[in-house]
């Protein structure tokens, strides 16, 4: 399976989340955590991504609006 093409990119200050990348075609939100872990959240509507992008705390938003609501997979990036 080919990984999604990520076309929108936004850097934002966060103590938990590093950059996020959103693909509006596949509705995939890739979240890079400060810890180095990377997760793809599936079937995320663009308005949810935009709300997270503008939220005061990305980590709190993720915990409140993503956990248990969107399928996800851990991504292993090439080293």
- Please state the domain count of the chain: 1
Read off φ and ψ for residue 49, nearest 5 degrees.
Answer: -60, -45
Q: Is 60 part of a structural domain of the chain? A: yes
User: Is residue 79 assigned to a domain?
Assistant: no
- The answer as to whether 3 is a domain residue is no
**pTM across the whole model:** 0.77
Is 17 inside a domain boundary? yes
Q: What is the pLDDT of residues 6-56, one digit of tens each?
A: 554 444 456 788 889 999 999 999 999 999 999 999 999 999 999 999 998
CA 34 – CA 44 distance, rounded (Å): 21
State whether residue 23 is helix, strand or coil: strand
Pairwise CA distance, residues 69 & 75, whole Å? 19
Is 2 within a domain?
A: no
1 assigned to some structural domain: no
């Amino acid at each position: 399976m080919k990984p999604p093409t990520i076309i929108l990119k936004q850097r934002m200050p966060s103590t938990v989340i590093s950059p996020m990348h959103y693909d509006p075609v596949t509705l995939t939100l890739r979240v890079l955590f400060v810890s180095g872990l990377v997760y793809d959240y599936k079937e995320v509507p663009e308005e949810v991504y935009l709300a997270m992008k503008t939220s005061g705390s990305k980590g709190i938003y993720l915990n409140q609006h993503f956990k248990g609501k969107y399928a996800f997979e851990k991504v292993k990036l090439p080293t």
